[in-house]
Amino acid sequence: MKQWLYLAGAIVLEVSATLALRAANDRSAWLALVVVGYALSFVFLSAVLRQGMPIGVAYGIWAACGVTLTALLAALLFGDALTWVMGLGFAVIVAGVLLVELGSHPPGAAAQSTPADVRDEPEGAR
């Protein structure tokens, strides 16, 4: 559960930093949020990896959510274009990340996660 909170934090920080980068075009004071946001995002992403999430899954979710949220919020905040083709792209990105997540769990992984003390008991002892 902790890894998902760290990942959510990394996503929010990265999206905030990216939006601040766009805002810095008009006012350079936003550059401070850019630097802090990206740095903390990587700190949180590192914490996700320390919690045991595979890097392919963590990075895929982080990047996909980042792209989607940044585009949606940029349309809302800055009037950037948002088309149905972009929406289709978001759906394809999410589907791809979902497939990576599902593929990261080998078939039968649940059966292998039985504690050793239960597996080693004789058949009649259960």
| pLDDT at residue 97 tops 90 | no
Strands (E) across the chain are located at none
Note whether residue 122 is domain-resident: no
Average pLDDT over the chain reads: 87
Note whether residue 9 is domain-resident: yes
| pLDDT at residue 42 tops 60 | yes
Phi/psi at 81 (5° precision): -65, 145
Q: What is the pLDDT of residues 43-75, one digit of tens each?
A: 999 999 999 999 988 999 999 999 999 999 999
Give the contacts of 85 (CB within 8 A, at least 6 positions apart): none
CB contact at 8 A, 32 and 16 = no
Tell me the residue range of the domain where 30 lies. Answer: 2-106
| pLDDT at residue 81 tops 60 | yes
What confidence tier does 124 reach under pLDDT thresholds 50, 70, 90? Answer: low
Note whether residue 121 is domain-resident: no
pLDDT of residue 125: 52
Note whether residue 126 is domain-resident: no
Note whether residue 43 is domain-resident: yes
Locate all alpha helices (DSSP H) within 51-83, ordered by sequence: 55-78
How many alpha carbons lie under 13 Å from residue 82 in its C-beta half-sphere? 16
**CA pair distance 94, 64, nearest whole angstrom:** 6
pLDDT of residue 100: 84
Report, as an integer, the average pLDDT of 11-20.
Answer: 98
Note whether residue 124 is domain-resident: no
Q: Which of 47, 16, 49, 12 is nearest to 31 (CA)?
A: 16
Considering the entire predicted model, what is its pTM?
Answer: 0.79
Domain count, the chain: 1
